[in-house]
């Protein structure tokens, strides 16, 4: 079954997050009625695209039950703890929060006798990177962090709720970057330092291992992929969301420097080095392209230029 009526109401959880804000715009621009759920809105939130916003703590079952599912036809579930590294220090938080929020949503819908179509956002970090690439949806997965365990748990809970009559689709996004991403990730962290150089506040940029290559996709392309998966994805299927193209940390830094029009001194910082970094991780987007027609459209150069412009506007 295909969720053909994008004009129906779509619930977006985590709507005030990095991806959520872009997703709300994407859905609204294509005529969807969006019920946005998340934490308190901030100044940067796309309020002009949010017609109906509810502030709820979805980790609490009683809060999730406050959502009116009566006319919700589709759910894109983004809410949860998303950073990989902090999960090692907070394993129980990640497992209980990520699996718990999803469970609360399904149970709230069940209690109201409604079974909307769910798109569950998992992660490309689940794959065993020792497997031959590019990684496909059938590549082996591995529980290599509490974050990964929580995402595997979310996928399993979706399978359970399929047995309760829900249509569920799983998205496994790889690295996504773009305007609005918070610190703690390579692009905003490097941009912050380069912009400080451009503003005369420092002369050097401290870096870790820039040799590692990753599969980066612009967050706006990611948002479009999620819309198309909700509309056209096959029920019960898993989809990679990735560019299929590798870029190194050097590519990222050079693109930021070019966009910022400055020439910083680059210094390696031992504290930023990760000896266990996998040299290259790329995914295959063939399945999502075949089923929905999605392909990434925004180049790395454009993404980085937009990130720098966004940072300059905030200065």
Residue with the two structure tokens 């959880």: 13
Q: Are the CB atoms for 265 and 196 separated by under 8 Å?
A: no
Predicted confidence at residue 4, as pLDDT, reads 47
The H or E element that residue 211 is part of is none
Model confidence over 298-311: pLDDT tens digits?
Answer: 999 999 999 999 99
Model confidence over 109-156: pLDDT tens digits?
Answer: 999 999 999 999 999 999 998 888 799 999 999 999 999 999 999 999
Q: Number of C-alpha atoms within 13 angstroms, CB side, residue 311?
A: 25
Say which DSSP state 27 is in: H
pLDDT band, very low/low/confident/very high, at 7 (cuts 50, 70, 90) = low
DSSP helix/strand/coil, 176: strand
Predicted confidence at residue 43, as pLDDT, reads 46
| Of residues 281 and 252, more confidently modeled | 252
Q: What average pLDDT does the chain have?
A: 92
Fold of 9-176+216-241: Rossmann fold (3.40.50)
Say which DSSP state 58 is in: T
Q: What are phi and psi of 262, to 5 degrees?
A: -145, 170
pLDDT band, very low/low/confident/very high, at 5 (cuts 50, 70, 90) = low
| Of residues 42 and 283, more confidently modeled | 283
Long-range contacts of 47-56 (CB under 8 A, 24+ apart): 49/24, 49/25, 50/15, 50/24, 53/15
Q: What are the start-end ranges of the E strands in the chain?
A: 9-13, 33-38, 52-55, 72-77, 117-121, 168-173, 175-177, 204-207, 213-218, 238-241, 246-248, 265-268, 280-281
pLDDT of residue 275 exceeding 60, the answer is: no
| Interatomic CA distance for residues 149 and 153, integer angstroms | 6
Model confidence over 162-210: pLDDT tens digits?
Answer: 999 999 999 999 999 999 999 989 999 999 999 999 999 999 999 998 9
Tokens for 263, please give them.
Answer: 């020439």
Predicted confidence at residue 274, as pLDDT, reads 61
CATH fourth-level superfamily of 180-214+245-282+298-314: UDP-galactose 4-epimerase, domain 1 (3.90.25.10)
Model confidence over 39-93: pLDDT tens digits?
Answer: 876 544 545 667 788 999 999 999 999 999 999 999 999 999 988 888 999 999 9
- Taking the chain, what is the end-to-end CA distance rounded to the nearest angstrom? 47
The H or E element that residue 231 is part of is helix 219-232
Q: Which of 306, 314, 280 is nearest to 131 (CA)?
A: 280
Mean pLDDT of 215-234: 97
**Where does residue 32 rank: exposed (0-12), middle (13-18), buried (19+ CB within 10 A)?**
buried
pLDDT band, very low/low/confident/very high, at 270 (cuts 50, 70, 90) = confident
Instruction: Please report, rounded to a whole number, the percentage of residues in the chain having pLDDT higher than 90.
Output: 81
Structural domain spans, the chain: 9-176+216-241, 180-214+245-282+298-314
| Residues in a beta bridge with 173 | 241
| Residues in a beta bridge with 42 | none
Same fold, 9-176+216-241 and 180-214+245-282+298-314: no
Cβ-count burial 84-97 (b if 16+ within 10 Å, e if not): beebeeeeeebbeb
Instruction: Please report, rounded to a whole number, the percentage of residues in the chain having pLDDT higher than 70.
Output: 93
Predicted confidence at residue 51, as pLDDT, reads 73
Say which DSSP state 279 is in: S
pLDDT of residue 240 exceeding 60, the answer is: yes
pLDDT band, very low/low/confident/very high, at 271 (cuts 50, 70, 90) = confident
């Amino acid at each position: 079954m295909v969720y053909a009526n994008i004009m129906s109401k779509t619930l977006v959880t985590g709507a005030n997050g990095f991806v959520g804000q872009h997703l709300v715009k994407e859905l609204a621009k294509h005529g969807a009625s969006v019920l946005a759920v998340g934490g308190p809105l901030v100044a940067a939130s796309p309020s002009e695209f949010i017609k109906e916003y509810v502030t709820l703590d979805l980790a609490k079952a009683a809060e999730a039950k406050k959502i009116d599912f009566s006319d919700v036809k589709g759910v894109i579930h983004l809410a949860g703890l998303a950073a990989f590294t902090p999960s090692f220090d907070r394993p129980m938080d990640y497992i209980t929060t990520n699996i718990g929020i999803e469970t609360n949503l399904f149970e709230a819908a069940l209690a109201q006798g409604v079974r909307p179509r769910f798109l569950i956002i998992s992660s490309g970090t689940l794959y065993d990177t020792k497997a031959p690439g590019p990684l496909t949806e059938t590549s082996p997965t591995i529980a290599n962090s509490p974050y990964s365990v929580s995402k595997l748990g979310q996928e399993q809970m979706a399978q359970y709720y399929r047995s309760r009559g829900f249509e569920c689709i799983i998205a496994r996004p790889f690295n996504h970057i773009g305007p609005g991403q918070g610190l703690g990730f390579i692009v905003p962290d490097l941009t912050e330092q380069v912009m400080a150089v451009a503003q005369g506040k420092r002369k050097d940029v401290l870096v870790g291992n820039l040799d590692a290559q990753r599969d980066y996709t612009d967050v706006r392309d990611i948002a479009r992929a999620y819309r198309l998966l909700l509309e056209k994805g096959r029920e019960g299927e898993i989809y990679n969301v990735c560019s299929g193209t590798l870029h190194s940390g050097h590519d990222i830094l050079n693109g930021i420097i070019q966009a910022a029009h400055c020439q910083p001194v680059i210094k390696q910082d031992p504290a930023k080095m990760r000896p266990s970094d996998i040299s290259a991780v790329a995914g295959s987007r063939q399945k999502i392209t075949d089923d929905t027609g999605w392909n990434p459209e925004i180049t790395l150069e454009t993404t980085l230029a937009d990130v720098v412009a966004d940072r300059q506007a905030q200065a």
